[in-house]
Chain A
Amino acid sequence: AQKVTQAQTEISVVEKEDVTLDCVYETRDTTYYLFWYKQPPSGELVFLIRRNSFDEQNEISGRYSWNFQKSTSSFNFTITASQVVDSAVYFCALSEAMNYGQNFVFGPGTRLSVLP
């Protein structure tokens, strides 16, 4: 069975600090996909990144970076020099290739508050 754990329920940082959001997943599939979404106060989930299980390269996009490590089943997300606009709930999600239903399993989310 697939499962996603985000152990940090809430994180508060001061603007310009770096912050890392943790995501640990469980799956028996060898081919799977990992996602991060941002949910600002407006409620809509905004897609940030997709990573497949065969690509362990870290990715950087502006102030965002992702560290995928299969050995520890983790897909962590780091925001560098955080800004108030980064305040949101962040969800990590997993989808298995053998899952015909395209079912995502979402973690419980981490609420990030960036204080000015």
Chain B
Amino acid sequence: DGGITQSPKYLFRKEGQNVTLSCEQNLNHDAMYWYRQDPGQGLRLIYYSQIVNDFQKGDIAEGYSVSREKKESFPLTVTSAQKNPTAFYLCASSIAGGGGQETQYFGPGTRLLVL
């Protein structure tokens, strides 16, 4: 079965701690994305990557970092600089980036809570 997996489902962060959210896809998609969703709100783009070893900041990149060493994987690190990290994080992928027409497909999400 092709799809996007995210782990863990729930993640707890202590003050001053960096945590990493995993996102893996086996759809052979070139582009991958990270979104943040706060209660009662829409999705906001954190980072996106059109191709391996390249990524771009989205609208709310401060306090986050990413890497794209493999086509299948796009991990997101929430650093201690992110002062309000409690949110639902969604990873997505699409066949290719650019042109706007590609449908993004989403993983099941990771809920991050601060202790």
**CB within 8 A of A32: which of B42, B58, B100, B107?**
B100
Asked whether, in the complex, the Cβ of B41 is within 8 Å of the Cβ of A108, the reply is yes
Chain B CB within 8 A of A57 CB: no
Asked whether, in the complex, the Cβ of A107 is within 8 Å of the Cβ of B108, the reply is no
Q: Chain A: interface secondary structure?
A: loop
Return chain B residues, CB-CB under 8 Å to A96.
100
Asked whether, in the complex, the Cβ of A44 is within 8 Å of the Cβ of B109, the reply is yes
Chain A CB within 8 A of B84 CB: no
Asked whether, in the complex, the Cβ of A45 is within 8 Å of the Cβ of B100, the reply is no
Near A by CB (< 8 A), chain B positions 91-111 give 92, 94, 97-109, 111
Chain A CB within 8 A of B60 CB: no
Minimal beta-carbon separation of A31 from chain B (angstroms):
8
Chain A CB within 8 A of B90 CB: yes
The answer to whether A103 and B108 touch (CB under 8 A), given A32-B100, A96-B100, is no
Report the nearest A residue to B56, measured CB to CB: A101
Minimal beta-carbon separation of B41 from chain A (angstroms):
6
Asked whether, in the complex, the Cβ of A95 is within 8 Å of the Cβ of B106, the reply is no
* Residues of B near any A CB (own CB < 8 A): 31, 33, 40-45, 48, 50, 56, 58, 88, 90, 92, 94, 97-109, 111
* Residues of A near any B CB (own CB < 8 A): 4, 9, 31-33, 35, 37, 42-47, 50, 52, 91, 95-104, 106-109
Interface CB pairs A-B, < 8 A, 17 = A4-B42, A9-B40, A37-B106, A43-B90, A44-B109, A45-B90, A47-B103, A47-B105, A50-B101, A50-B103, A91-B43, A101-B98, A102-B33, A104-B43, A106-B42, A108-B42, A109-B41
